[in-house]
Amino acid sequence: MLEYRYLQPEDVKVAADIHIEGQPGTILTLLGRSFLEELYRAVCSSEWGEGIGVYDDGQLVAQTVMAVSSVRFFSEFKRRHLWRVSVPVALAVLKNPKIISNVVKGWGYAEQTRSPEREGDVIFLGVRRAYLRRGLGPEIVRHMFGWANSIGLTSANFMVEKRNRPMRWMVSQLNDIYVAHEFEAYGRQMLFYKITIASNLEDARVPLGQPYTPAYNYSKNGTGLDN
């Protein structure tokens, strides 16, 4: 039986596996497994990020992660988490010096998205190959919208590789969508879609369980955040 629930710290190793399988050769994958595991650990522990997983008999088989605020999440990640994987990341760069320029560009990811407060950026969405074409992608997005609405987000923003036709098709099926801008990230040409959450709530759902660290709630706390 499939369950849709929040990612937990014990899921980070499998989450990294799914990321590597879904995005081979991208800059985040080339930075190594240790980096990805730390990234997913940060998603679970930060109030500026959240992950939702699909579990088949308790086994994680698909996931999506969103930065509630990219500026705040990645700033916190660099400050609190990156040092823990600095050695394996440095070794990965030494093994493949060509990725240095992409690392530098990716360092300014939050500035590239230009997402204001109350707009969440989807960092990753992936499904195990054995579970493709079962409708897990659209279903996990429905749960994402339900959760995002519950914390007062107004937009879900997807950065999609321009040549990734399956993902572009899936996003195109959502309501009130437009391409905000196009840019290069992680060495690939990306389209940045903005999707109004309020227009996609008819069949939205809320994940089971409780997040390891609840995300910042804009509805509860208001919008007057200091940058």
Residue 144 belongs to a domain with what CATH number? Answer: 3.40.630.30
Chain segment 125-152, per-residue pLDDT in tens: 999 999 999 999 999 999 999 999 999 9
196 CB burial (10 A radius; 0-12, 13-18, 19+): middle
Please give the backbone phi and psi of residue 133, each rounded to the nearest 5 degrees, phi first: 60, 30
Residue 182 belongs to what domain range?
A: 2-206
Position 227 scores a pLDDT of 41
Q: Please list the pLDDT of the chain residue by residue as tens digits (227 residues).
A: 899 999 999 999 999 999 999 888 777 888 889 999 999 999 999 999 999 999 999 999 999 999 999 999 999 999 999 899 999 888 888 888 877 766 666 566 667 778 899 999 999 999 999 999 999 999 999 999 999 999 999 999 998 889 889 899 999 999 999 999 888 766 678 899 999 999 999 999 999 999 999 999 999 886 555 44
- Terminal Cα distance for the chain, rounded: 43
Taking the mean position of all CA atoms in its chain, how far away is CA 63?
9
- Considering the domain boundaries, does residue 154 fall inside one? yes
Helix (H) or strand (E) holding 119: strand 119-127
Asked if residue 30 belongs to a domain, the reply is yes
Question: Which amino acid is located at 177 in the chain?
Answer: I
* Closest C-alpha among 169, 188, 197, 191 to residue 179: 191
Residue 100: inside a domain, yes or no?
yes
Count of domains observed in the chain? 1
Cβ 140 vs Cβ 54: under 8 Å:
yes
Q: Is the pTM of this model over 0.75?
A: yes
